[in-house]
């Protein structure tokens, strides 16, 4: 059996078995890329990345079980959003400035894709909490700029906040941590959950990047432009340790943004492919050590070369499959 080795800043070496080609599916992944927004020519949002991620995962990761993302009802959306905002989104009656802040033109496809994106994170949470592998993936999601009463930054509904509250409402867990490692602060998530002590929000982001008016997460780590692998990983290691001291999550929702990469058009940080792999492994290893289920959402990625963005997201999914296999193997032995 081949082995994957990932070093951490403190000298630890994480060793993971690479699944064999004929292994049975272990990682559940939920997709919604066939719900496509009809964007105008030249639009800067890389809508095609979701299809490319799905296709690449199908082609290269054998131990993965794909499911179409379910939709989300108005009642479930209302766990994090005001009913009047939900109604305006669904009917296409948002104020012009609100629609502009979202960054997409209104279409029925925008509404359905946003419902499905939230549904995929919900499904990933349920799978992570019930399957022995303790990890599941949304091949989209991470729409962390959506506030309770307004969308922004290509985000309509806040999938992480909705899913966290639904897991609590279903009495699956009491305490959820949202670990946001997109390069942009999860301002909508922080705002929605500002007075909720049962959900811990951690955001590691660029200090001088969008959004320029930041909200207050439970733990914010603002990084200077040009921050590279070692400084980023050291900051993340400290942040995760602080979170685990201050809070005892029963579920982690992980926003695995590709945009801290050095080749991202909107990122301003300087993480390499290897640095991003070590980032993902650090989060997943922390969760594994404490037997905490993890639901992963892809969040942002705006690479100058879209194939770089796809490769980073695929790397996250592949690492999730490695950890899922290890978690599942441990469960079989106990």
Least confident of 54-58, 217-221, 256-260: 54-58
Q: What is d(CA 309, CA 258) in angstroms, rounded to the nearest whole number?
A: 6
Is there a contact between 157 and 143 (Cβ–Cβ < 8 Å)?
yes
E strand map for 210-285: 219-223, 251-255
Q: What is d(CA 209, CA 162) in angstroms, rounded to the nearest whole number?
A: 25
Q: What tokens appear for 200 in the block?
A: 């811990």
Asked whether the predicted pLDDT for residue 332 surpasses 50, the reply is no
pLDDT, mean of residues 214-222: 97
Q: How confident is the model at residue 334 (pLDDT cuts 50, 70, 90)?
A: very low
pLDDT, mean of residues 188-217: 96
Three-state secondary structure call for residue 1: coil
Q: Which CATH superfamily is domain 26-36+45-333 in?
A: Histone deacetylase domain (3.40.800.20)
Q: What is d(CA 230, CA 241) in angstroms, rounded to the nearest whole number?
A: 17
Q: What is d(CA 78, CA 86) in angstroms, rounded to the nearest whole number?
A: 8
Least confident of 28-37, 72-81, 131-140, 177-186: 28-37
Q: What tokens appear for 52 in the block?
A: 């490319």
Rounded to two decimals, what is the model's pTM?
0.91
| Alpha-carbon distances, residue 236 vs 104, 229, 233, 280, 333 (angstroms) | 32, 10, 5, 10, 31
């Amino acid at each position: 059996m081949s082995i994957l080795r990932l070093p951490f800043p403190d000298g630890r070496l994480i060793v993971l078995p690479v699944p064999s080609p004929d292994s049975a599916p272990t990682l559940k992944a939920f997709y919604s890329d066939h719900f496509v927004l009809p964007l105008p020519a030249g639009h800067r949002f890389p809508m095609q990345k979701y299809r490319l991620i799905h296709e690449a995962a199908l082609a290269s990761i054998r131990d993965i079980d794909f499911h179409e993302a379910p939709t989300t009802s108005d009642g479930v959306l209302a766990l994090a959003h005001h009913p009047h905002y939900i109604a305006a989104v669904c009917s296409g009656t948002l104020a012009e400035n609100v629609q502009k802040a979202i960054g997409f033109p209104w279409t029925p496809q925008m509404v359905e894709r946003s419902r499905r994106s939230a549904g995929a994170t919900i499904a990933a949470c349920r799978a992570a909490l019930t399957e022995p592998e303790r990890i599941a993936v949304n091949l989209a999601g991470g729409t962390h700029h959506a506030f309770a009463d307004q969308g922004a930054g290509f985000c309509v509904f806040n999938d992480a906040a909705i899913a966290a509250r639904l897991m609590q409402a279903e009495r699956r867990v009491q305490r959820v941590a949202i670990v946001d490692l997109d390069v942009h602060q999860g301002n909508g998530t922080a705002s929605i959950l500002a007075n909720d002590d049962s959900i811990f929000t951690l955001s590691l982001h660029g200090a001088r990047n969008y959004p320029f008016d930041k909200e207050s997460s439970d733990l914010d780590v603002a990084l200077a432009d040009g921050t590279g692998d070692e400084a980023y990983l050291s900051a993340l290691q400290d942040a995760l340790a602080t979170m685990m001291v201050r809070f005892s999550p029963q579920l982690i929702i992980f926003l695995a943004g590709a945009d801290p990469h050095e080749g991202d058009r909107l990122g301003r940080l300087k993480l390499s492919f290897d640095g991003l792999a070590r980032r993902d492994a650090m989060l997943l290893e922390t969760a594994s050590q404490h037997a905490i289920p993890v639901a992963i959402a892809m969040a942002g990625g705006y690479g100058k070369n879209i194939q770089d963005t796809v490769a980073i997201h695929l790397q996250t999914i592949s690492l999730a499959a490695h950890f899922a296999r290890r978690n599942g193997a441990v469960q079989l032995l106990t």
